[in-house]
Amino acid sequence: MNNVRLLSVENLNVEFSTSDGVVHAVNDVSFSVHSGKTLGIVGESGSGKSVTASSILKLNTGITASTSGSILFNGKNILGVDDKAIRAIRGSEIAMIFQDPLSALNPYYTIGSQIIEAYKVHHKGVKKKEARKIALEMLHRVGIPNPEARIDEYPHQFSGGMRQRIVIATALINSPKLLIADEPTTALDVTVQAQILDLMKDIQRENGMAIILITHDLGVVAETCDDVAVMYGGRIVEKASVQELFVTPTHPYSFGLLGAVRSLDNSARGELQTIAGSPPSLLNLPSGCSFLPRCSYADASRQQCASFVPPLQNVLPTNSLSACHLRAEALNVLKIKEPS
């Protein structure tokens, strides 16, 4: 079941019209996800990663959002289907979980009724008792102790970690082929984070679903992902396997991100590396490479960087794709230089 291309996103653009102008949240983004694999989408706040994820379920439905490109899921173009068809996909073939488990559950209904609701919406005609049994099994599977006693409790009676387990149980009740997890562990304690990630990986191993994991935490990426897409200013700037990203990053922004990670190896070197400056406003993106103002490598190529948006290109000898005007050899040399 592995290595079937389940989802492929091509040339996705998402814009929001606001009173200040058009926000180009996602620009020309392409990636694909294979069954049984986990794709990490990494980036700072406002890099467009959550909007990209929401597009896959057509959740950016405000009057101000406009989406173009194509999102093929199992050969079907999601952007072309009508409301009814997308509802049939939501929660059944593609499930999504959100950042804050404390607010993702409806506080006015018991957790049981919410899981049962998620099951019954895609299994019309199933008896409530049957659905309840399935919900109990799922709660048991995600590690809620004593689910029979707790299924009729309300969300606020559970801890954050338990609530994220319940959210996962709700999302996975229909055995979706793809799970989109939008920063699923950001709001949790570090120890609980590891448990939740382990849980997701375990379930993936059992049922072979694909996962898109959106995060700003490179530790989480290293832990769980097979492939990574690094987003900056609404674009993918680097696509690589997780090993290659960490060993041979090919984009200056990726260097910067890795430099900003505190690990046991680099802690001895004193201060944490940061990337100077702040991410660009998606309202008026610079004409060339949007990372240029913060890039400490673009010397000789500065003219080119300022004029043209760099396309994603393979950087030999790696298998990575990088959107940078710097030549591959130069990148490999520069990688050794400490970012200033």
Partner 1 sequence: MSAKVGTPLFYSPLSYLRIALITFIARRLLFALVLLAAVSLFTYLLFALLPTDPAALTCGKNCKPELIEANRVRLGYDKPIHEQYFQFVKGIFTGRTYGTGDIAFTCPAPSLGYSFNQHECVSSLIGKTFPVTAFLSLGAFILWMLLGVGTGTLAALHRGKWQDRLTSVITSIGVSLPTFYVGLLVLFSVVIWLQWLPFPHYASPSENLHDFLTAMILPWITLAVLSAASYTRITRNGVLEAMNEDFVRFGVAKGLKNRTVIRKYVLRAALIPIVTIAGLDFAALLGGAIVTESVFSLPGMGRLAIRSVTDSDLPVLVGTTLVAAVFIVMANTIVDIIYGILDPRVRLK
Interacting residues with partner 1 (CB under 8 A): 57, 59, 63, 83, 87-92, 95-100, 103-109, 117-118, 121-122, 129, 132-133, 136-138, 140-141, 147-148, 151-154, 156-157, 167, 170-171, 206
Query: What six digits make up the tokens of 161?
Result: 């970690």
CB of 24 to partner 1, least distance (A): 21
How far is Cα 180 from Cα 171, in angstroms, rounded to an integer? 10
- Measured from the CB atom, the residue of 157 and 274 that comes closer to partner 1 is 157
Closer CB to partner 1, 88 or 247, in the complex: 88
In the complex with partner 1, the residue whose CB is nearer, 170 or 250, is: 170
3-state secondary structure of 145: coil
**Shortest spacing between CB 87 and partner 1, in angstroms:** 5
Alpha carbon distance 311, 309 (integer Å): 6
- Whether the CB-CB separation of 224 and 184 falls below 8 Å is answered with no
Per DSSP, the residues of 211-238 read EEEEES-HHHHHHH-SEEEEEETTEEEE
Q: Tell me how far, at minimum, the Cβ of 51 lies from partner 1, in Å.
A: 13
Asked if residue 144 lies in contact with residue 162, where contact means CB atoms within 8 angstroms, the answer is yes
Cβ neighbours for 226, distance < 8 A, ≥ 6 positions apart:
37, 38, 39, 241, 242
Instruction: State the nearest-atom distance from the C-beta of 216 to partner 1, in Å.
Output: 18
Listed in sequence order, the residues at least 6 apart from 127 whose beta carbon sits closer than 8 Å to its beta carbon are none
Tokens representing residue 100 in the block: 């804050």
- Residue whose entry in the numeric block shows the structure tokens 């987003």: 231
3-state SS, residue 67:
strand
E strand or H helix at 163, and its extent? helix 160-172
DSSP 90: B
CB atoms within 10 A of CB 286: 15
In the complex, minimum distance from the CB of residue 128 to partner 1, in angstroms, rounded to a whole number: 11
Q: CA 213 to CA 180: how far, in whole Å?
A: 6
Closest CB 135 distance from partner 1, rounded Å: 10
Distance between CA atoms of 117 and 113, rounded to whole angstroms? Answer: 6
For the bound state, the minimum distance from the C-beta of residue 208 to partner 1, rounded and expressed in Å, comes to 14
Beta-bridge mates of residue 72: 8, 77
Nearer to partner 1, 180 or 323 (CB): 180
Q: How far is the CB of 200 from partner 1 (least distance, A)?
A: 16
Q: Which amino acid is at 51?
A: V
Residue among 52 and 99 whose Cβ is closer to partner 1: 99
